[in-house]
Amino acid sequence: MPSEGPSAAVHTFASGPSSTWSQYQGDAAHDGSSPYVGPATSQKSWTATLASGVSGLAASDGTLVVDTPSNGTLMALSLSTGHYTGMFYAGGTGGLRLVSNYPVYDGSAAEYAHYVYSCGIVTCSVYGSNIAQWSTGGGWESTGFGISSDWLLSEANSQVFVTASGSNALYALSYGSGAIQWTDPFHYDLSTLPAVGAGLVVVGFSNSPLVAGVQASGGAGAWNFTADGAVGSPAIAYSAGDFYFGSTLGTLYAVNSTGVKLWSWNDHTLPVTTTPAVAFGDVFLGDSAGTLWAMNATSGASVWNFSAGAGITTSPVVSANHLVYFATTTGLVEAVNATTGALVWSASVGSAGVDGLVLADGQLIVENASNALTSFQSYPITFVESGLATGANWSVTLNGSTEYSKTASITFSRPPGTYPYTVDSVAGYSSDPVSGTENVSSSGVTQYVNFTRAYPVTFVASGLSPGTNWTVTAGSPPVAKTNTTTVRSHGGLVFLEPQGPLTFAITAPSGYGVAKVTGPASANATQTTASVATVPLNLVVTFGPLEILYFNESALPQFRAYSGAVWSVALTPSLSHGGPPSQSAHTNGTSITFLVPHGATYHYYILTPGSEYKAAPSFGTVGIPEHYLGKIVKFTLLVKSIVFHETGLTSHQSWTVTLTSGTSPAITFPLSGTSTAGGLIKFKLPVGTYNYTITATDAQTPSPSPGSFSVLTAPSPAQTITISFS
């Protein structure tokens, strides 16, 4: 039954969220399973050597917490670099020393760290501290436990569960204040970290084969289970409603949340000295003889075993990308495939044995017996799909390695670098993107893939000789496919495309052009687009040999534009859908030519050098049935009559009008006309603005002179300008 515990003090903090690797074997379940991708290679990112021995690690939110009890410090390092960032010092004066082998660190917004230390035998404390206050020791303190040996802590659901190796009491503290919620005394010495799951706290004992489960909410006893020997591993593991632990006689047990044995396993007589890891439906356990075992979590049946060649010193940890990590007495760190047991990579961290592993934020942190920390790091490259039916199988190939999934995500783990990828095709679907590259530098990357129901679009060639290659590029992003016609078949290129508009490009073989693209009326096919419905779409591409189509100005000077004038021709397909592509060209010479496919029909339009010209013909339709088909174009200059009329001039005197300049490039300036008194001077001028001067043979003065006028439209009725002499 719960009983009152020692006094609690003082400062209060809000509870933080669960961490990436907040305590031994990940969290209070101690199952060694990480939700994060682990390193898929032996790439080391940093190493750090500490001045004193390390007894435990925890990590969250970019910070690695290191417990170094021999000098009474709890240290913070940058998870990404291994550089020192902070320290709490509790050792030295009055016999204070940190004695927690397994610190608990929750990196919430306030960044809490839970840790414990002992000051002598009588007055012992549990502390909760804001990491920003380590230098001042700010936080809460719960005192008077009377524990002087190594502390054992777990934290879950706003509670901190405290005991110590050799103690016979289990305490529950408030996460935010350190207040003692309940105390549960036992008749035997506790030896495991409290394991939390299914509303229970489960512990084992060093001098009894009992395993006890108590209610986390109040400490009431729930059940006892008797093993064949004491449970000596650092912790009991909890996963999916069941608890897993090993005995000093080498038996591994699975017990459900009511304390009923599900199965036991013993393929050796070696004591179980590490905590089993549970992930992906299997249980993983290493032994001192150097074998890593995998058993089915439901039945206990053997799945595989791997020989490491030296005693395994660490509890295994398992990453989200199905890798099991462990280390040996010879300082070797190894990663094996969780499904097959095949070795993935192996690396040495020194000749000393390895004491512990942390798997957080894509990093594997290794603690060895020589006080050295080594980080192995790969970053996750995650592909997240949408649009597929639930349970549909899909795959991604990254730099030659393919991963499959029936869930919404596929994750690779890679060191920094650039990696090409391809989203492999899924029957009946198209994907966006289809391929690309991912750049990994200092963090993971996520690529979203949208799958859309796709329907076959088939392009069939017509008009090509056997053995001729032709290409269609279609889709988004564009994919090019090439086919070769045969004697019996004109070939077909099939694309899977989503419903809606499709853009494509057809590459004709040398000497050929596309005369037309035809398909069902609903497809509205052009030479570059079509509409894809929810049924297969067949498009016929008609090729024709290229012909020369020319347009020449008339050889007669009066039917040609002025020298240097630019004129142009525009061709558009006569078919409303599927005709050849439009073309246009311009020149200041006398001829324009086009290469057009045999069998095509075009509308053509002649664009004159300016509004002062009229083209004949100005438009029309031309088919391409034979070589060297051409059109003769005649340009007519459109002019308006400009009439100068004089008044006041002395009889028999002559007068002259000189056009000195103007905007029409069709006129050469100056341009003059002369008449006698009473006579008219006439010009035929195209549209433009003109400047003039008036002179006479006597001394009479003309007005206006100089002057200007504009021709706004041509042809049109004559325009009269009156000049007065005085």
CA dihedral 389, 391, 392, 393 (to 10 degrees): 160
* Per-residue model confidence (pLDDT) at position 637: 87
Q: Three-state SS across 312-375?
A: ECCCCEECCCCEEEEEECCCEEEEEECCCCCEEEEEECCCCCEEEEEEECCEEEEEECCCEEEE
The series of mean pLDDT values per 10 residues for the chain, 726 residues long, is: 33 34 90 88 88 78 77 77 76 44 59 41 45 46 55 82 77 79 89 94 94 95 95 90 94 96 86 94 94 96 95 92 93 95 94 83 85 86 93 94 93 85 91 90 86 90 87 81 63 84 91 90 87 92 90 85 88 74 90 90 90 89 73 88 92 91 89 91 92 90 94 85 91
* Per-residue model confidence (pLDDT) at position 149: 55
* Per-residue model confidence (pLDDT) at position 38: 86
Residue 117 token pair = 């230390």
* Per-residue model confidence (pLDDT) at position 234: 86
* Per-residue model confidence (pLDDT) at position 691: 96
